[in-house]
Structure 1
Amino acid sequence: MKKIIRLIVGVILAGVFLWLIFRHLSLDEIKEAFSEANLSWIGLAVIVFFIGYACRIERWRLMLIQNNPALQWRQCAGPLMASVAANNVLPFRAGDVLRAFGFNRRLGINAATSFTTLFVERLLDLLMVVSFLGLALAYFGMESSAFIGVGAGFLLAAGAAILFLLLFPAFFKPFAYWLGRTISSFLPGLGKKMNDEFHKVFTALEHTSSGHTMPRLVLWSVLAWLAEGFVFWLTAMSLPSVANHLAAWLALPVGTLATVIPGTPGYVGTFDYFTAKAMTSLGNPAAASTAYAFLLHAVLWLPPTIAGGVYLLVNPIKKQEKTKALSP
Structure 2
Amino acid sequence: MYRKISAILIPTLIAVGIIVYMLYRVWDDLLTALQHIVPAYLGIAIIICLAAWWLRGWRYHRILLSLNYRIKVAVTTACVFVSQTVNLIVPARLGDFIRIFILKHDYKTTYSEGISSIVVERIFDIITVALLGAVSFFFIPNVPGWIYLYIIVPLAIGFAFFLFLIIVGKLTTTNKYVRYILTMLEEIRRASLTLRSIVILGASSIVIWMLDILVCYSVVTMFEQQIPFAVIVLAIVIGNLVKAVPITPGGIGTYELAVAATFEIAGIAPAVAFLIAVIDHLIKNLITLAGGIVSIYYLGDWVIPTIKSALNAKLNGGKTSDP
Q: TM-score, normalised by structure 2?
A: 0.80
CA contact (8 A) 1:75 1:107 kept: no
Aligned to 2:33: 33
Query: Any unmatched runs of 5+ in structure 2?
Result: 311-319
Query: What is the aligned residue count?
Result: 303
Aligned to 1:219: 203
SS in 2 for 1:65: helix
The alpha carbon displacement at 1:214 in A equals 2.8
The alpha carbon displacement at 1:163 in A equals 5.0
Inter-partner Cα distance in structure 1 for 2:92 and 2:99: 13
**Is 1:61 aligned to residue 57 of structure 2?**
no
Which of 173, 177, 184 aligns to 2:168? It is 173
Identity %: 16
**Is 1:277 aligned to residue 261 of structure 2?**
yes
SS in 1 for 2:186: helix
CA pair 314-216 structure 1, distance change in 2 beyond 3 A: closer
Root-mean-square deviation (Å): 3.4
Aligned to 1:123: 123
CA pair 92-40 structure 1, distance change in 2 beyond 3 A: same
Aligned to 1:150: 149
Please give the per-residue CA displacement for 1:226-274, whole angstroms capped at 9, x wherever unaligned: 111111211111112x332522211111111121344332322111111
Q: Which residue type is aligned with residue 252 of structure 1?
A: I
Query: Any unmatched runs of 5+ in structure 1?
Result: 178-191
Aligned to 2:84: 84
Inter-partner Cα distance in structure 2 for 1:265 and 1:305: 13
The alpha carbon displacement at 1:10 in A equals 2.1
Q: How is 1:13-28 mapped onto 2 (pairs within 5 angstroms)?
A: 13-26=14-27, 28=28
Q: Which residue type is aligned with residue 25 of structure 2?
A: H
CA pair 170-275 structure 1, distance change in 2 beyond 3 A: closer
Which of 159, 162, 173 aligns to 2:158? It is 162
CA contact (8 A) 1:258 1:270 kept: yes
Q: Which residue type is aligned with residue 138 of structure 1?
A: F
Aligned to 2:189: 206
Aligned to 1:288: 272
Q: TM-score, normalised by structure 1?
A: 0.78
Please give the per-residue CA displacement for 1:166-215, whole angstroms capped at 9, x wherever unaligned: 4x65544389x8xxxxxxxxxxxxxx9xx789747733432212452232
Which of 287, 299, 302 aligns to 1:303? It is 287
CA contact (8 A) 2:124 2:205 kept: yes
Please give the per-residue CA displacement for 1:77-111, whole angstroms capped at 9, x wherever unaligned: 22221222221233442321110112333345333
Instruction: Pick which of 251-260 and 200-209 moved more.
Output: 200-209
Instruction: Pick which of 205-214 and 2-11 moved more.
Output: 2-11
Inter-partner Cα distance in structure 2 for 1:106 and 1:197: 23
Inter-partner Cα distance in structure 2 for 1:115 and 1:100: 7
CA contact (8 A) 2:93 2:246 kept: no
Aligned to 1:244: 227
